[in-house]
Amino acid sequence: MTNEMNDELRNQQSPLKAACRRIAVANQKGGVGKTTTTINLGAALDKAGKRVLIVDGDPQGSLTSWLGLNGGVGDREIGRVLSGLIPFVDAIHQLEESNLHVIPIDHAMNDLKWVFEAKESWETSLRKEMNSWPLNYDYIIFDCPASYNPLLVNFLVAADEVVIPVQTEILSLNSTIPFLERLSEIRNTLNPNLKIAGILPVMFDSRTRHSQEILNRMREAPNLSKFMFATIIRKNVRLTEGPMRFRTILRTSPSSSGAMDYMALAEEIIRQEGKTEIEANSPDKNVTLTFAEDSASE
């Protein structure tokens, strides 16, 4: 993007979008569709007429690569924002064929020490920087790293809500319980406004009994069911083709089940607006043990 285009983006950041929802797509387990959800949910919200910014917060840079930004990032990426080298708004890129905006990441972010070792109150670095600017978006969506580290903490502190993708299989479900407990810790110590927007079942395969069983257990568990989205992201090969074409599912296969599922998710999230907030509570640890024992006995 040219300097002129970036100046235009800076000028667009007013007036303040008071109702902007900051959503972290997060789970401590890798391979559960966090990047897929961030990109395609962002595209679906954009299609629904919302102004959306997506942020690559995973040092692996999968979202940045998916959107074809590798090699074209320069110094305008989230690492420079967190280290205080550039303002948040200067890291924003506008995608050529979309109204979506994105902040990419540089692979140097794999070494987190250089970002945080000299900073006081590092946990709030991103939130403070974002609050310095009147960001004119309806939604800002963070694609978070899988491991629990300072980078993930920064995104959870900067966010208002969390979407938690959970693959409908036992290992993914069991790893989600400790993450919910981590969210409670963040809420109690660093971000009292953090809440769960919803737990999102992903990679659901209706052909397998196991997938259906795990989905049913998630919906029936008293301290998980209240967080469950009605929307299910079904396993769909079209969702895996987006990174090869540098496009979202809504562009590569708009009539596919993957596109329909993410449009349904966007509609469900939009319907949440103005409703009572769901707080991030810690589920009973016995839920994990129950699932594990039932699974082993089958």
Mean pLDDT score of the chain, rounded to an integer? 81
Residue 234 near residue 26 (C-beta atoms within 8 A): no
Q: How confident is the model at residue 68 (pLDDT cuts 50, 70, 90)?
A: confident
CA distance 161 to 149: 18
Q: How confident is the model at residue 205 (pLDDT cuts 50, 70, 90)?
A: confident
Nearest residue to 136 (alpha-carbon basis) of 16, 54, 43, 52: 16
260: left (phi > 0), else alpha (psi -120 to 50), else beta?
alpha
Paired tokens of 265 = 């998710």
Any residues with CB less than 8 A from the CB of 138 and at least 6 apart, and which? 17, 19, 20, 21, 45, 50, 51, 52
Strand duo 139-143 + 161-167: pairing: unpaired
Give the global pTM. Answer: 0.85
pLDDT tens, position by position, 150-167: 889 999 999 999 999 998
Q: Domain residues of the chain, as ranges?
A: 17-297
User: pLDDT at position 92, please?
Assistant: 94
Among 145-159, 178-192, 212-226, the range scoring the smallest mean pLDDT is: 212-226
The size of the chain, in residues, is 298
Q: How confident is the model at residue 290 (pLDDT cuts 50, 70, 90)?
A: very low
- Whether 191 has a pLDDT exceeding 50, the answer reads yes
Residue 87 near residue 131 (C-beta atoms within 8 A): no
Paired tokens of 244 = 């090869």
Q: How confident is the model at residue 141 (pLDDT cuts 50, 70, 90)?
A: very high
- Whether 211 has a pLDDT exceeding 80, the answer reads yes
Residue 266 near residue 47 (C-beta atoms within 8 A): yes
User: pLDDT at position 246, please?
Assistant: 61
- Whether 275 has a pLDDT exceeding 50, the answer reads yes
Strand duo 93-94 + 101-103: pairing: antiparallel
CA distance 217 to 166: 13
Among 114-128, 168-182, 261-275, the range scoring the smallest mean pLDDT is: 114-128
Any residues with CB less than 8 A from the CB of 274 and at least 6 apart, and which? none
Paired tokens of 282 = 């810690």
Count other C-beta atoms under 10 Å from residue 49's C-beta: 9
Nearest residue to 233 (alpha-carbon basis) of 259, 194, 198, 267: 259
Residue 28 near residue 147 (C-beta atoms within 8 A): yes
CA distance 36 to 278: 24
User: pLDDT at position 74, please?
Assistant: 77
User: pLDDT at position 7, please?
Assistant: 55
User: pLDDT at position 6, please?
Assistant: 55
- Whether 125 has a pLDDT exceeding 60, the answer reads yes
- Whether 133 has a pLDDT exceeding 80, the answer reads yes
- Whether 117 has a pLDDT exceeding 70, the answer reads no
CA distance 200 to 34: 10
Burial (Cβ within 10 Å: 0-12, 13-18, ≥19) of residue 246: middle
User: pLDDT at position 204, please?
Assistant: 83
- Whether 103 has a pLDDT exceeding 80, the answer reads yes
User: pLDDT at position 283, please?
Assistant: 46
User: pLDDT at position 69, please?
Assistant: 84
User: pLDDT at position 257, please?
Assistant: 82
Phi then psi for residue 56, to 5 deg, are: -85, 110
Question: Which of the given ranges, 42-51, 91-100, 145-154, 249-258, has the highest pLDDT on average?
Answer: 42-51
- The more confidently predicted of residues 294 and 187 is 187
Share of the chain above pLDDT 90, in %: 40
Q: How confident is the model at residue 176 (pLDDT cuts 50, 70, 90)?
A: confident
Summarize the chain as % helix, strand, coil (round to 5): 45, 15, 40
User: pLDDT at position 194, please?
Assistant: 95
Domain 17-297: assigned CATH number = 3.40.50.300
